[in-house]
Amino acid sequence: MSTELLAPLDLAFWHLETDAHPMHLGALAVFDPAPGAGPRELLELLGARAAAMPRLRMRVRDVLLPVGGAAWFTDKDFDVHRHVKRILLTGGDFMAQATRLAGELMEQPLERGLPPWQMYLLDSAGDGPFAVLVKLHHALADGMRAVAIGAGIFDQIASAGAAPGAVRRRTPVPPRSWLPGPYQAAGMALDRLGDVGRALGVGASVVRASRLDLRGSTALTARSSGTRRLATAELDADTVQRVRRTEGGTSNDVLLAVVAGALRRWMLERGEALPGADPRALVPVSRRRPGGAATGNRLSAYLLGLPVGEPDARERLRLVRTGMNRNKAAGPLRGAGAVAVLADQLPALAHRFGAPLAGNAARMLFDVLVTSVPLPRSALSLGGCPLRAVYPMAPLARGQSLAVALSTYAGRVQVGLVADGKALPDLDRLASAVHEELRELHALLPTVPAPA
């Protein structure tokens, strides 16, 4: 793997980035200590495992063809020490310090002349917990692939990849001309016509869903300051499942309703008037097929109105479930939220010159990103140190102040809230409201005992 063109959607993420709007994903993984695993050993282990992943040795360079395009090239001067670093935290509460520092590090764009990723080992002088902050550019992978890449640092995944049975033999491919034959050309033309038709359909949906009047903006759509803050919350996964079994729908419906209720609580507590129209969430949907391409972004999304104006928690859940059922009936390739599908049909030159316009238009389509990131179900560790929690972090769209990411591990739903630091200085209060909302929703359910 020495050269590979960026797919259109990857190219879009690459060109959407500005200094104030870095387009990287992140995760803060928190570990409990284990005997014999000191900072030096852990740093060396992180570096060795990251360097063993071919994808993390790739950097982006412009190409002549297609015009406006770019490609992944193996970095011949790759040095893992440029990417894996240690930061010593001193004094105070470790998690509070690690969370604050993670937000500050998420402000900083990745250096574009290097493979676009970073890992930081955050530890203190004692024998307490430590954390690893992972930053991966969105052009490198979507949420699912980011998890797969990041998981390569864990003992269980790294040892499985090193096993002799894990080596796959390539099936010989007969040589062929780079010029397509007449039947291939006809098939390619038909496929392209289908792509154009699908793009036109999605484009029409996006235009219909766009809002030209943005006077009803809230703190969620404040002017960007370029600063970042991280706040975290944890929810009991069994409680989420009990609500789902009683009310129907999916676990994701329950979590979306919890986010809506938490936003309502937070807005009312800070004295902010509830918006006349429900804020709209962009809910990413993976289009990745089992056994499909292992790299790049394969995304669509749903648009969902978060019913913050509804005072009843169970009714909010019903409204979310109804809205998501409507989205699923339309499918991830047809609704207005499928803007990523539209981006995947545009030529490279359109992304290079249209990125500023597309970035500014995000606010016309949605107010907040809410994404769920799947994690392995098995217990994980790094150098024998058990993984305690993983808080995912999503990038902020231009003109927006909050992105919400959720993941489930070890019976807990970990919530990562990334916000513009100046627009949402009370982000910790929103994190508390997330926990309070699930507790209230659970307490309202009939015939279900309250959690201990």
Q: Which is nearest to 84 in space by CA: 126, 112, 54, 56?
A: 56
Give the Cα separation of 236 and 439 in Å (integer).
10
pTM listed for this prediction: 0.84
Q: Which residue pairs from 200-206 have beta carbons closer than 8 angstroms and sit at least 24 positions apart in sequence? A: 201/334, 202/333, 202/334, 202/336, 202/338, 202/339, 202/341, 202/342, 202/345, 203/342, 205/334, 205/335, 205/336, 205/338, 206/336, 206/338, 206/339, 206/342, 206/365
Quote the pLDDT of residue 328.
86
Q: Considering the chain, what percentage of its residues have pLDDT values greater than 90?
A: 50
Quote the pLDDT of residue 188.
39
Quote the pLDDT of residue 187.
45
Question: How does residue 165 score in pLDDT terms, banded at 50, 70 and 90?
Answer: very low
Burial class (CB in 10 A: 0-12, 13-18, 19+), 352: middle
Give pLDDT tens digits for 374-406.
888 889 999 999 999 999 999 988 878 999 999
- Segment of 57-66, 254-263, 352-361, 436-445 carrying the highest mean pLDDT: 254-263
Quote the pLDDT of residue 157.
86
pLDDT for residue 132 is more than 80: yes
Q: Please list the alpha-helical segments (H only) found in 90-236.
A: 94-107, 143-150, 155-162, 182-209
Q: Which is nearest to 134 in space by CA: 148, 115, 144, 121?
A: 121
Quote the pLDDT of residue 263.
96
Give pLDDT tens digits for 39-97.
999 999 999 999 999 999 999 999 888 888 899 999 999 999 999 999 999 878 899 99
Q: What is the mean pLDDT of the chain?
A: 81
Q: At what angle do helices 427-443 and 313-330 cross, to 10 degrees?
A: 100
For 442, the token pair is 């659970």
Quote the pLDDT of residue 95.
94
pLDDT for residue 291 is more than 90: no
Give the Cα separation of 392 and 415 in Å (integer).
7
Give pLDDT tens digits for 204-243.
454 444 554 444 456 787 777 889 999 999 999 999 999 9
Quote the pLDDT of residue 183.
41
Q: Which residues does 233 contact at the CB level (< 8 Å), separation at least 6? A: 414, 415, 417, 431, 432, 434, 435
Question: How does residue 107 score in pLDDT terms, banded at 50, 70 and 90?
Answer: very high
Give the Cα separation of 187 and 192 in Å (integer).
9
Question: How does residue 10 score in pLDDT terms, banded at 50, 70 and 90?
Answer: confident
Residues forming a β-bridge with 370: 404
Quote the pLDDT of residue 213.
47
Quote the pLDDT of residue 433.
97
Quote the pLDDT of residue 408.
95
Indicate the helix (H) or strand (E) that contains 370.
Answer: strand 368-372
Quote the pLDDT of residue 438.
96
